Amino acid sequence: MHKTAILYPLFALALWTALVLLQIPIARFRAAARREVTASDFKYGESATVPAYVCIPNRNYMNLLEVPVLFYVACLLLYVTDGASTTLVVLAWAYVALRVLHSLIHLSYNHVYHRLMAFAASNLVLIALWLLAAVHVFTQAPA
């Protein structure tokens, strides 16, 4: 397996994050056109009067900037240490798929328990990714 294979899921999650980011102004402009919000509702973040459908894309975007930072670091660590095994690349793609699933649930029907299951599963995959990355790093012969 080519060492850059571990970067493909990293780019995929970054692209997904950008697509979710685009949902924020779409929701805000739609709400403004319907006169459900004004610019002052966003002066200090989102006021309590902002409808939930406007807040959710922003919250999901924030979710994609929190824990996934550890995913990006793990992928880069595996890349620079030539540790991108097939198993780790599959785990990285599984993480991306679960984060996309989490977003799709959050941005559509938003069932809390379904969202929690996707979120928890993604975190378990991330833990496995880090554990296997650590094994790789600590079992390498010193240079």
Cα–Cα distance for residue pair 24/106, rounded to 1 Å: 13
With 0.85 as the threshold, say if the pTM is over it: yes
| 66 in Cβ contact with 58 (< 8 Å) | no
Other beta carbons within 10 Å of 115 = 19
What pLDDT is recorded for position 38? 86
Cα–Cα distance for residue pair 84/121, rounded to 1 Å: 21
Cα–Cα distance for residue pair 105/47, rounded to 1 Å: 24
Domains present along the chain, CATH in parentheses:
3-138 (1.20.120.550)
Report mean pLDDT in 10-residue bins for the chain, 143 residues: 94 98 94 89 84 93 97 98 96 98 97 98 98 95 66
Nearest to 10 by CA among 98, 93, 86: 93
